[in-house]
Amino acid sequence: MTNTKKEQIVVFQDDREPECQIMSDLQNWNVTFESKRLICGDYVYKNLIIERKTMDDFCSSILDRRMIYQTEKMKKEMEEGKECFVVVIGNIKDRKIDIHENCVLGKICSLVYKHKIKVIQCDDEFQFLYCLRNLCDKYDYNEMSKMPRKNEK
């Protein structure tokens, strides 16, 4: 990441989400995490909802059908104007859960196409945290661009 100073932001983290080993790195990126019980997702920034999954957790949530429940919650939030993301950390080939990779890929395609939920794959926690900060920045930029300018009527 560049040395450009980022504006301080606050991201809510579900209190059931384990502490990330490199959260302290985000202090350099001006991100503060506040822990609270979230209704949907693991991280919330304004109208962004981010469900973080390791590859094995993603596979398990397909098998035990938690992903269906979580998808329904995200769809309800999207109806209220929220943007939902599922970020999967890890490579499908490195999964330890006994599930065919076509099932995993099919679920990802279903989330994107059928449910209109955006899916991002990251190799590791550092990439996840980078994407988290970047999504927040893009959200703020998009919201600012919707605001009328002073000279506009």
**Range with lowest mean pLDDT among 2-6, 77-81, 86-90, 101-105:** 2-6
Q: Would residue 85 count as lying in a domain?
A: yes
Q: What is the CATH number of the domain that holds 105?
A: 3.40.50.10130
Q: Would residue 151 count as lying in a domain?
A: no
pLDDT in tens, 133-144: 999 999 999 888
Provide the domain count of the chain: 1
pLDDT for 142: 87
Q: Is 100 strand, coil or helix? A: coil
Instruction: Determine if the pTM surpasses 0.85.
Output: yes
Helical ranges in 27-99 per DSSP H: 55-63, 66-79
pLDDT for 1: 45
- Flag whether pLDDT at 102 surpasses 60: yes
Cα–Cα nearest to 134, from 73, 43, 53 = 43
Residue 59 to residues 40, 100, 102, 117, 122, Cα–Cα distance (Å): 19, 9, 11, 17, 15
Q: Would residue 3 count as lying in a domain?
A: no
Q: Would residue 71 count as lying in a domain?
A: yes
Q: How confident is the model at residue 99 (pLDDT cuts 50, 70, 90)?
A: very high
pLDDT for 150: 66
Mean pLDDT of the chain: 89
Domain span including residue 56: 10-143
